[in-house]
Amino acid sequence: DAGVTQSPTHLIKTRGQQVTLRCSPKSGHDTVSWYQQALGQGPQFIFQYYEEEERQRGNFPDRFSGHQFPNYSSELNVNALLLGDSALYLCASSFIQSGNTIYFGEGSWLTVV
Amino acid sequence: SQKIEQNSEALNIQEGKTATLTCNYTNYSPAYLQWYRQDPGRGPVFLLLIRENEKEKRKERLKVTFDTTLKQSLFHITASQPADSATYLCALGADMGYGGSQGNLIFGKGTKLSVKP
C-alpha cells in the first residue's frame, strides 16, 4: 500500500517562473492538504481539497493555487515565484471523517534563485 | 492571533531517561492536538492524536497529555533511545462543519531531541 507520493522531489526555479507540484494521496484517502515548510519552521497550511473543491485556505496569496482530480490526486501551482517561496512543500492526505490520521508525503524541495 | 509554542528548540538527554516536550498555545480552542516526528529532509510522521475531551493517551513508550485549561500538551518518551533523536512537532486542529477537520493544522516550530548513548 503506497503512502502519499509527491513529485518532483527537488527542483530549482528562477524568480518569476511558475511551478507545479504533484501529489497522490494514500489509497482510500479523499482529502488532500498542502503545507509549506521553511527551514527551521513548522509546516504552514496552504489549502485543503475535498471533492475537487478548495475547502479551506491558509494565509497565502493568490499566487498559490491548486487542483484536485477525480482520482483524488492533487496539484499545487505557484506563479510569479519569489525567493521567499523556497521551501519544502508537503502534501498530506486523510479520509474526510474527523479523527482520522493524516499522512504526509516526503515533500518537494523547491529552491528559487 | 493564534500562537503555538514548543518550549525549546533543542533538548539533549541521556539514553534511558524520559524526554518531556512541551507545547503551549494561545488564542485558540482546538478540537484535538497531534504530535509528529520529523527526521531531517523527510516529511512529518504521525505519532499520537488526543482530543479535547481526553486527558491522556499512550502508545508504547509514548505518552501525551492535554490540558485545555492550561492550554498545554506534554509529550513524553520513556526509556529514550538514540533512535528517538529527531524533531518533534506539535499541531492543533479544529473540527470543521463539513467534517473536514484534518487538513488545517497549526504547527509549532518543533523541538529537536537528541538522545546521547
Residue range A63-85, pLDDT digits in tens: 999 999 999 999 999 999 999 99
| Interchain pair A96, B45: CB under 8 A | no
Over range B7-26, report the average pLDDT: 93
Its CATH architecture, for the domain B3-96+105-116, is: Sandwich (2.60)
Residue reference for cell 479544529: B94
How far apart, in whole angstroms, are the C-alpha atoms of residue A32 and residue B102? 10
Instruction: Tell whether A111 is within 8 A of chain B (Cβ).
Output: no
Using a CB-CB cut-off of 8 Å, the residues of chain B touching A96 are: 98-100, 102
B77 within 8 A of B58, measured Cβ to Cβ: no
B10 within 8 A of B109, measured Cβ to Cβ: no
Instruction: Tell whether A60 is within 8 A of chain B (Cβ).
Output: no
| Interchain pair B103, A97: CB under 8 A | no
In chain B, domain spans: 3-96+105-116
B94 within 8 A of B30, measured Cβ to Cβ: yes
- pLDDT, one tens digit per residue, over A43-63 is 999 999 999 999 889 999 999
| Interchain pair A55, B100: CB under 8 A | yes
Distances (CA, A) of A64 to A22, A60, A85, B88: 14, 7, 10, 27
Over range B84-110, report the average pLDDT: 80
In chain A, domain spans: 5-112
Q: If you write DSSP's letter for every residue of chain A in order, what string do you get?
A: ----EEE-SEEEE-TT--EEEEEEPPTT--EEEEEEE-TTS--EEEEEEETTEEEEE-S--TTEEEEE-TTS-EEEEE-S--GGG-EEEEEEEE-SSTTPPPEE---EEEEE-
| Interchain pair A102, B51: CB under 8 A | no
- pLDDT, one tens digit per residue, over A82-97 is 999 999 999 999 887 6
pLDDT at A101 over 90: no
Its CATH architecture, for the domain A5-112, is: Sandwich (2.60)
> Which stretch of A2-6, B29-33, B52-56, B78-82 has the lowest confidence by average pLDDT?
B29-33
